[in-house]
Structure 1
Amino acid sequence: MAVWFPDGLDWPARAALLAFGGAAILWILTDLSAAYVAVAAAVSLVAVRAVEQRALIEGLGSKVVWLVIGTFVLGAAVEKSGLAGRLTALIAGRGTTVGGLMWRLTFGIVPLAFLIPSTSGRATVLLPLHRSLTEADDDPHLAKATGLLIPALIVISTICSLTGAGSHLVTVDLLERLSDRSIGFGQWMLWGLPFGLAACLITTFLVGRLFLDAETRTRRLAEIEAPSGPLSAEEWRTGAVVLAMLGLWLTEGYHPFGIATVAVVGAVILTMPVVGVLDWDDGVKAVNWGLVLFIAASLVLGRALISTGAAKWLIGSALSASGLHGDSPTVLILLGVTGIGLTAHLYMVSHTARVVALLPPLILLSDRLGLNPVAVAFLANAGMDYCLTLPVSSKALLIFQGDERPTWSSSDLLKLSAFLAPAYAALMVAAYYLFWSHVGLAL
Structure 2
Amino acid sequence: MLPKRTLAASGALVALCVAVYLPEGLDWPARAALLAFGGAAILWVLTGLSAAYVAVAAAVFLVTVRAVEQRALIEGLGSKVVWLVIGTFVLGAAVERSGLAGRLTALIAGRGTTVGGLMWRLTLGIVPLAFLIPSTSGRATVLLPLHRSLTEADDDPRLAKAIGLLIPALIVISTICSLTGAGSHLVTVDLLERLSDHSIGFGQWILWGLPFGLVACLITTFLIGRLFLNDETRSRRVAEVEAPSGPLSAEEWRTGAVVLAMLGLWLTEGYHPFGIATVAVVGAVVLTMPVVGVLDWDEGVEAVNWSLVLFIAASLVLGRALISTGAAKWLIGSALSASGLHGDSPTLLILLGLSALGMTAHLYMVSHTARVVALLPPLLLLADRLGLNPVAVAFLANVGMDYCLTLPVSSKALLIFQGAERPAWTSTDLLRLGALLAPAYAALMLAAYYLFWSHVGLAL
Query: TM-score, normalized by length of structure 1?
Result: 0.69
Task: Return the alpha-carbon distance in structure 2 between the equivalents of residues 399 and 55 of structure 1.
Answer: 23
Change (3 A) 1:251 1:330: farther
Change (3 A) 1:70 1:441: farther
1:196 Cα offset (Å): 3.2
Task: Return the alpha-carbon distance in structure 2 between the equivalents of residues 401 and 57 of structure 1.
Answer: 24
1:85 Cα offset (Å): 0.5
- Residue 334 of structure 1 is matched in structure 2 by 351
Unaligned runs of 5+ in 2: 1-17
1:84 Cα offset (Å): 0.9
- Deviation per CA, 1:250-282: give whole Å up to 9, x if none: 222222222222222222222222212222222
Quick check: 2:135–2:182 contact (8 Å CA) kept in 1?
Answer: yes
Task: Return the alpha-carbon distance in structure 1 between the equivalents of residues 155 and 193 of structure 2.
Answer: 51
Q: Which moved more, 1:273-282 or 1:332-341?
A: 332-341
1:401 Cα offset (Å): 11
Task: Return the alpha-carbon distance in structure 2 between the equivalents of residues 125 and 352 of structure 1.
Answer: 22
1:12 Cα offset (Å): 3.0
Quick check: 1:2–1:17 contact (8 Å CA) kept in 2?
Answer: no
Change (3 A) 1:360 1:284: farther
1:90 Cα offset (Å): 0.4
Task: Return the alpha-carbon distance in structure 2 between the equivalents of residues 276 and 133 of structure 1.
Answer: 25
Change (3 A) 1:144 1:333: same
1:301 Cα offset (Å): 2.5
- Deviation per CA, 1:293-340: give whole Å up to 9, x if none: 233223222322322333333333333333224654443233234345
Task: Return the alpha-carbon distance in structure 1 between the equivalents of residues 344 and 397 of structure 2.
Answer: 20
Quick check: 1:12–1:50 contact (8 Å CA) kept in 2?
Answer: yes
1:229 Cα offset (Å): 0.7
Unaligned runs of 5+ in 1: none
Q: Which moved more, 1:374-383 or 1:246-255?
A: 374-383
- Deviation per CA, 1:410-441: give whole Å up to 9, x if none: 99999987875554333333445677779998
1:88 Cα offset (Å): 0.6
Q: Which moved more, 1:15-24 or 1:341-350?
A: 341-350
Quick check: 1:175–1:377 contact (8 Å CA) kept in 2?
Answer: yes
Change (3 A) 1:104 1:424: same
1:118 Cα offset (Å): 9.3
Task: Return the alpha-carbon distance in structure 1 between the equivalents of residues 82 and 155 of structure 2.
Answer: 42
Quick check: 1:341–1:383 contact (8 Å CA) kept in 2?
Answer: yes
- Deviation per CA, 1:328-364: give whole Å up to 9, x if none: 4443233234345657899999999999999999899
Task: Return the alpha-carbon distance in structure 2 between the equivalents of residues 422 and 94 of structure 1.
Answer: 36
1:70 Cα offset (Å): 1.8
Work out the percentage of aligned pairs sharing the same amino acid: 91
Within 5 Å, which residues of 2 pair with 1:317-332? 317-325=334-342, 328-332=345-349
- Residue 179 of structure 1 is matched in structure 2 by 196
Change (3 A) 1:150 1:312: closer
1:234 Cα offset (Å): 1.6
Task: Return the alpha-carbon distance in structure 2 between the equivalents of residues 52 and 392 of structure 1.
Answer: 22
Task: Return the alpha-carbon distance in structure 2 between the equivalents of residues 158 and 310 of structure 1.
Answer: 27
Q: Which moved more, 1:228-237 or 1:369-378?
A: 369-378
RMSD of Structure 2 on Structure 1 (CA): 5.7
Quick check: 2:179–2:186 contact (8 Å CA) kept in 1?
Answer: yes
Change (3 A) 1:162 1:84: farther
1:49 Cα offset (Å): 2.5
Instruction: Give 3-state SS (helix, strand or coil) of 1:17's partner.
Output: helix
Task: Return the alpha-carbon distance in structure 2 between the equivalents of residues 229 and 37 of structure 1.
Answer: 48
Task: Return the alpha-carbon distance in structure 1 between the equivalents of residues 39 and 194 of structure 2.
Answer: 24
Q: Which moved more, 1:384-393 or 1:267-276?
A: 384-393
Q: Which moved more, 1:159-168 or 1:319-328?
A: 159-168
Q: Which moved more, 1:167-176 or 1:279-288?
A: 167-176
Q: Which moved more, 1:346-355 or 1:280-289?
A: 346-355
Change (3 A) 1:414 1:68: closer
Quick check: 1:302–1:360 contact (8 Å CA) kept in 2?
Answer: no
Instruction: Give 3-state SS (helix, strand or coil) of 2:200's partner.
Output: coil
Quick check: 2:37–2:364 contact (8 Å CA) kept in 1?
Answer: no
- Deviation per CA, 1:139-163: give whole Å up to 9, x if none: 9999998787667645644655799
1:239 Cα offset (Å): 1.5
Q: Which moved more, 1:149-158 or 1:262-271?
A: 149-158
Change (3 A) 1:391 1:253: closer
1:75 Cα offset (Å): 1.7
Change (3 A) 1:268 1:377: farther
1:89 Cα offset (Å): 0.7
Quick check: 1:342–1:383 contact (8 Å CA) kept in 2?
Answer: yes
Query: TM-score, normalized by length of structure 2?
Result: 0.67
Change (3 A) 1:368 1:241: farther
Task: Return the alpha-carbon distance in structure 2 between the equivalents of residues 153 and 128 of structure 1.
Answer: 16
Q: Which moved more, 1:7-16 or 1:187-196?
A: 187-196
